[in-house]
Amino acid sequence: NAGVTQTPKFQVLKTGQSMTLQCAQDMNHNSMYWYRQDPGMGLRLIYYSASEGTTDKGEVPNGYNVSRLNKREFSLRLESAAPSQTSVYFCASTRLASGAGVYEQYFGPGTRLTVT
């Protein structure tokens, strides 16, 4: 299994450009998440998808859109990039941990985005 994969690994955008970050998991997980990580801020949830066909806003959704294309794929789109969106973006997915009823999360390798 590849686990959680993300593309691209690095990206530089000019202010106002758009792009889509791709995420895929091959673990048959129901729930998928997009986080951003900024120095001194910790990880913050942008959007999540509890199951195929549903998406919900997280803590910092402004300036982003998401698509849960199918069970495997969850993409994050920046329609008009701003310097404040310079960050490292992580995708994650969860499965139900057996017996405990809680959720173990698996993270992708991250995408380092710079907006100039």
Partner 1 sequence: KNEVEQSPQNLTAQEGEFITINCSYSVGISALHWLQQHPGGGIVSLFMLSSGKKKHGRLIATINIQEKHSSLHITASHPRDSAVYICAVIVQGAQKLVFGQGTRLTINP
Contact set with partner 1 (CB under 8 A) = 31, 33, 40-45, 48, 50, 58, 90, 94, 97, 100-110
Q: Which is nearer to partner 1, 14 or 100 (CB)?
A: 100
Strand-pairing partners, residue 35, are 45, 90
**For residue 84, what are its two tokens?**
């404040």
Q: Which is nearer to partner 1, 64 or 90 (CB)?
A: 90
Check: CB of residue 82 under 8 Å from CB of residue 115: yes
Q: Which is nearer to partner 1, 49 or 75 (CB)?
A: 49
Residues 6+ apart with CB under 8 A from 3: 25, 26, 27, 106, 108
Question: Min. distance of Cβ 63 from partner 1 in angstroms?
Answer: 20
